[in-house]
Every structure is written in C-alpha cells, then in structure tokens.
Amino acid sequence: MRKKKHSYSMIWAIFSILIVFGIIKYASPYAFMILLGKDHTMPTPSTLMLWYMILGVLGALVYVSTSDLKWANFLSFMLPGEDDRTKKLLQKIIVLALPLLLGWFVYSGTVPGTASPVELRIQHPTLLQKYENMENPFAHVSEELKEKYTEEGKHLYQQNCRPCHGSKADGNGPFANSFRLRPINFTDPGTIGTVVESFVFWRIMEGGPGLPDGSTPWDSAMPSWEDTLTDEQVWKIIMGEYATAGVVPRQREEAE
C-alpha cells in the first residue's frame, strides 16, 4: 500500500514545478503590483524565469533522488504496473506532454521574431584612474559652510537635473517618460549610495558619451556637463543630490 502511495511522486514533482511556474509567471507580477502600489503588473523577466525554472526542476529532481527508494518510486511511475486507470491516463499525458514541451522550446527558440536584443548591463562602469583618488574639495570645510554649499547644490540640482531625475531625485522628472532607459532613481539605496562621490563626479562630467567601451551596450542619455558647469558647481550638485535623495555616498575607509 505504501509503495502505491509513493509511486505518484513523479506527479507530485511535476505539480510542484507547475506551482513554481505559476507563482513566478502569474502570481508575482500581480503581487508586486499590489505591494508596490503600481498601476501595472511587473512581469518577471525572461532571464529570471529561465533561471528560477531550472532551479525548480533541479530542486524537484534532487528531492526525488535523495534515496534509492524515492528514486525507484519516481521512475516506476512510467513502468507498466497494476490496473490503475488514473495512473495510465497520467502516463499518457506525460508521454504526450514531454515531446510537445520540447517542441515548443525548440519552436519558440528558433521562430523568427522582432524582439530587441537582451542587454547585459554593467551597473558601475570602470572608473577612470584620474578620478579614483579625487576628493570633494568641500569635504573638510566647517559644518556651516557644508550646509551652505549643500543648499546651493540643491538649487543647482533643481535647475539642471530636475527635468530628468525629478525634484525629489526619484527619477520621475517631467522628461523621464520619454527615455527608453529611465533616469536613475537616486532615492534607491542601490544607486548613488553604493559609490564614492568621485564616481558621481565622473558620471556628471562625462555623461553617456564618456562611458568606456567596455560598458557598451549602454543607452544612457545622460549628457556631458563638463563644458557647462564648473568643477565646484558639480561638487555642490553632488552634495545637494545626496541630500535631496536622502542617501549618503560610500565612505572610504582608512587603510589600517
């Protein structure tokens, strides 16, 4: 009796994989829409779908082969056995579904389409050496002066950066929707909070055109500001930008 009960482990494994698929493909886009208060669903990117499904299948296979008995039960489902109509029906479904699934994979992978290429982005392009040890000239001034420069920086930010990056530095400026790659949301702690100030200085000064070849493909619309703003103005903007976004730059640690 016990073996009969366990002999459906293949079905349970397939069922578990389908549940994982359902969660990633259908449930999570709606869950994120509700949780993050969006007006549209957040579909799971195809790369993640593939990775998570591989892990799902692998996880199921690992579990059903953790003992000889489990593995034998798993495989035995496809062997002819007792006269169990449900089992026979499920066997036929599996035998039919497997080649169909493979066929669908082959078809969807080779059918000509018009999708734009998937881009492998690098978050932090390699900083040029001349910027590595650059320091904010206002880093060691008195607190009063720091506050003054930060306020000036906030004004300069609103004048020059607001149209794209938004008045709250959240990447929602009036022009933001017109870009294919939206302007960066600085309030996200995973952005300017993870780099040192000289990195931001470089990105402002040289913008998209100044990105090294290794960072392509890159479709940043960030302009180069080195001909428009002075070095001092850029450092003030950086101070104002961090203050507006409510994040702090990565700090250098003293080498012990």
Partner 1 sequence: MNSFKIFFSLLVILVLQGFVSQVVEAQESSELVQYRNFFGIDARLVVWIVSELHLMFAAFVLGVPMFAVTVEIIGVKSGDIRFDNLAREFTKLLSAAFATTAALGGLLSFCLYGMYPGFMRYMTDVFHPIMFVYALLFFAEAFCLYGYYYSWDILKEKGKWFHIFLGIMLNVFGTTLMFLANSWATFMMSPDGIDLETGAVTSLRAAFDNFLWMPVNLHRLIANVAFGGFVVGAYAAVKFMGSKSDDDKAHYDWMGYIGNFIGLAALIPLPFAGYYLGREIYSSSPVMGNIMMGGAFSWTFIIQAILIGMLFIGGNYYLWNGMDRIEGAERYRKYIPFINIIIFFCFAVWLTPHNLPLSGEERALIGEQYHPFSKFFGVMAAKNAVVNLLILSTFFSFLIYRRANKGEIVKFSQHGNSARIALIITAGLTILYLVWYAMGLRGVELEANIKQYISPLILCIAIQIVAIVVTILMTFANKGKAAQILLLFVTVLIAVVYLAYYGFVVMEKANMVLRFLSVTQVSVVISCLIVNAVIDVFLFKNAKEVGKIRWGKIPLRSQYALLLLCVAIVTLMGLMGFIRSGLRMNWHIYGYMQDTSPGAFTPSISYMGLATALVVVLFLALVSFVFWLAGLGEKKKSSSNA
Give me the residues that bind partner 1 (CB under 8 A), please. 28, 32, 35-36, 38, 40, 42-48, 51-52, 55-56, 58-59, 62-63, 65-68, 71, 115-127, 129, 131-132, 171, 180-182, 184-185, 187-191, 193-196, 198-199, 214, 246-248, 250-256
Give min distance, CB of 76 to partner 1, in A. 16
Residue 12 CB, shortest distance to partner 1, in Å, is: 10
Nearer to partner 1, 178 or 228 (CB): 178
Q: How far is the CB of 69 from partner 1 (least distance, A)?
A: 8
Whether 206 contacts 226, CB under 8 Å = yes
* Cβ–Cβ < 8 Å for 194, 175: no
Identify which of residues 138 and 233 has a Cβ nearer to partner 1 in the complex: 138
Q: E strands along 10-106, which residues?
A: none
Task: List phi, psi (to 5°) of 245.
Answer: -75, -20
Residue with smaller CB distance to partner 1, 57 or 90: 57
Count of residues making up the chain: 256
217 prior amide bond cis, ω within 30? yes
- The 10 Å CB-count burial string (b at 16+, else e) for 42-74 is eebeeeeeeebeeebbeebeeebeeeeeeebbb
CB of 85 to partner 1, least distance (A): 29
Pick the closer one to partner 1 by CB: 80 or 214: 214
Paired tokens of 252? 């250098």
Nearest-approach distance from CB 20 to partner 1, in angstroms: 9
